[in-house]
Chain A
Amino acid sequence: MLANQWMGKEDLEVNEVPDPRILNDRDAIVRITSTAICGSDLHLYDGYIPTMRKGDILGHEFMGEVVEVGKGVGNLRAGDRVVVPFTISCGACLSCSRELFSLCENSNPNHRIAEKVMGHSPAGLFGYSHMMGGYPGGQAQYARVPFADVGPIKIEDGLPDEQVLFLSDIFPTGYMGAEMCDIQPGDVVAVWGAGPVGQFAIASAKMLGAERVIAIDRFGYRLDKARQAGATDVLDYEEVTVLEALQELTAGRGPDACIDAVGMEAHSAIGPLHAYDRAKQATRLETERPHALREAIMACRNGGTVSIIGVYGGLMDKFPIGSLMNRSLTVRTGQTHMQRYMRPLLDRIRNGDIDPSFVVSHTMPLTEAPEGFRMFRDKQDECNKIVLKP
């Protein structure tokens, strides 16, 4: 089969590799019909997530048709159309039984590496480094799906791929980001990052009843998408000082909840600060470039909530812990507990509450994945979200 392989930093190749085989009774093999490039993939592409190996297959947002199931998979059959969540979860451990699926205690065979870096290990993820399990990803023609009786969700009506594909990650992620804000009537929610994840966080915050949703980014076309998703206000952080603008918009209170949908590769309009973090990141003195998170903390109203869905990998400098502590802020975060959200969000798509395909800006063949990564990373050609067809 063809697969998009990581060959090194900023170096991808689509190559012929062996087809996946069933390794366990609870596996299924899926022939992939659509797969997407995610902001999380960019952290791998740019070399910021450790424990990648040359030849690793990327991709964690995919769907397709079941072609084979192991003996232990009772709920799926060859021919079923499924969307696969990016987290791998056993469904039986204590974390899974508490619906903390991205913390599955059994799905990461390399949990020792993750424990060294983070103390305890989260769940295994598709195509996301060896620290997260060493699983091949879904930017390929086929994928092996472990615990196929727990993860994939069947799509039984004729909804097109583009409408359901994002149930594999970014729609549930944006939704969880908004849900963690515990939105109350009258709440103002600010969202840093108007990428696809931020756009779904905005749409979800509206669905969950936010009074106003403020989007922050520097790309006009993404801020337009944010408006389309439901943002009531948009801020271009190269045009305005974000903290001042938020004070102004909320008459001095600050947003009730702040969502970081940017993560470890944030950009800063303040040159020297950006240079400082970039230099430390390059020399591995810190692994994050947390401009958006710092700003989100400072902006949040007293007693408010900071919801972090942008991905971080390791250590950060100049973390405003004083602001967090003295102002009684609540921090909520996590890789998305996917299986908790897929069914209810599929229902919302079916009901017509939302059509997730609004994020798609480009569709291209899998063979053009390396070019797609470059475009998406550099935000060329108004690139918002790329769907690859294997």
Chain B
Amino acid sequence: MTSTASPGLRRTARLLGLASTGLGVAMLRDPEGVARVAGVDDSDTAVPVITVVGARELVHAAGLLAGRPGWAWTRVAGDAMDLIAMGRALADRRGDRYRRLRTATVAVGVLALVDLGTALRSSRSRDEGPATDLPPTAPWKRAIAVSAATTVNKPPAEVYRYWRNLENLPTFMAHVREIRTPDGGRRSHWVAEAPGRRTVEWDAEVVEDRPDRLIRWRSTGDADIENTGSVEFVAAPGGRGTEVRVHLAYAQPAGRLGKVVATLFGEDPGQQVRDDLSRFKQVLETGQVVRSEGSPEGPFARRLLTQRPAHPRP
């Protein structure tokens, strides 16, 4: 999972989603009633138009209720259409109908402002990177934060022990070439592969270590890529093994190195962590990374697009 929006923003988005649902359902169930309240019940096109708008509201609602603030833009576009239509209608209404339509137009105008605010904030928050899921140890403004989870059919102690020996991590972390732990595990030196046969390196330290439960680490000193992460081990219910949850965050520096970080983690950094966890599960449960002739590296996002034919190679 890659997070891009703050909880507050998601909440506003959901509220707007609920508003859209309410409006949409009302318009679809009783377009005549809505036409009356809005003062346009004298027009033959009002009922079909309101029905179409109602259906549109439900589309907005679907996106917003899924917690996607970016969908507020679809509402902004809808608001603009509605306001134009209502403005036109206002021009040929008089008396009580005029007053009712004016009230409805003002209400739509206010909602439009909320929509615009939410949409703008959603765009900004995308530029600035995630605001949630960033561990407290991550002090950066721009960052890539990802999390992933898997269930391993082994007891927490065994799963923890394998991860805690940090030198094991390269067996399943595709981009990490080597980890050295000179002082037995608190400090470590990481070497990772970067595009163009480059490598990036950093030192890290374990900042929290709760046996069989949790490990939290962060890069130290002058790291090529500042990062921090945690892995949590919880016994799955009913003897189903161990739930393993990983959270990682990488500072995204400006300039060239920032590009390296971006390409290192590809379009979907969450995918890479999920692949790493698939391999982790395989290594713990079966003792090996599972390979096929079509996917010789094992689970590996990029290979999915460029499968080799399923026959042996010399």
Contacts and interface: CB of A to CB of B under 8 A. Distances in A.
B281 A56 contact: no
B94 interface: no
A19 B311 CA distance: 9
Which of B271, B292, B293 has the most A CB atoms < 10 Å from its CB? B292
Contact of B281 (A55, A106, A108, A134): A106
B221 interface: no
Contacts of B312: 17-21, 136, 144
Interface in A289-348: none
Contacts of B74: none
B292 A26 contact: no
Interface string B267-289: 00001001100100110011111
Interface in A65-90: 72, 90
A130 B290 contact: no
Given A92-B285, A94-B153, A110 B294 contact: yes
A133 interface: yes
A130 to B, nearest CB: 5
B290 A107 contact: yes
B153 A5 contact: no
A281 B297 CA distance: 34
Contact of A135 (B240, B293, B301): B293
A112 interface: yes
A49 B311 CA distance: 18
A122 B288 CA distance: 19
A57 interface: yes
Contacts, number: 124
A23 interface: yes
A255 B309 CA distance: 45
Contact of A133 (B281, B286, B294, B308): B294
Contact of B290 (A109, A113, A137): A109
B3 interface: no
Contact of A24 (B288, B308, B313): B288
B80 to A, nearest CB: 35
B211 interface: no
Contact of B286 (A5, A56, A106): A106
A62 interface: no
B310 interface: yes
Contacts of B290: 24, 90, 106-109, 124, 146
A53 B307 contact: yes
Contacts of B297: 109
A192 interface: no
B281 to A, nearest CB: 7
Contacts of B292: 109-110, 124, 133-135, 146
B110 interface: no
Interface residues on A, range: 35 or more
A5 B311 contact: yes
Contact of B309 (A54, A72, A90): A54
Contacts of A106: 281-282, 285-286, 290
Given A94-B240, A110-B304, A113-B304, A136 B281 contact: no
B307 A111 contact: no
Given A90-B285, A94-B151, A130-B294, A110 B309 contact: no
B210 interface: no
B285 to A, nearest CB: 4
B287 A109 contact: no
B301 A112 contact: yes
Nearest to B305: A113
B285 A136 contact: no
A105 interface: yes
A3 interface: yes
B136 interface: no
B236 to A, nearest CB: 9
Contacts of A92: 153, 285-286
Interface in A19-41: 19-21, 23-26
Contacts of B241: 94
B299 A111 contact: yes
B293 to A, nearest CB: 5
Given A53-B308, A93-B285, A134-B292, 14 more contacts: A53-B310, A56-B309, A90-B290, A94-B241, A107-B290, A109-B290, A109-B300, A110-B299, A112-B275, A130-B310, A133-B292, A134-B294, A134-B310, A137-B310
Interface of A: 3, 5, 17-21, 23-26, 51, 53-57, 72, 90-94, 97, 105-113, 124, 127, 130, 133-137, 144, 146-147
Interface of B: 151, 153, 240-241, 271, 274-275, 278, 281-282, 285-301, 304, 307-314
26 contacts: A5-B311, A17-B312, A18-B311, A18-B314, A24-B288, A25-B288, A53-B308, A91-B286, A94-B151, A94-B153, A105-B281, A106-B286, A109-B292, A109-B298, A110-B294, A110-B299, A110-B307, A124-B292, A130-B294, A130-B310, A133-B292, A134-B293, A134-B308, A135-B292, A136-B293, A136-B312
| Ranked 6 nearest A-B pairs via Cβ | A134-B294, A55-B309, A109-B295, A20-B312, A56-B310, A18-B314
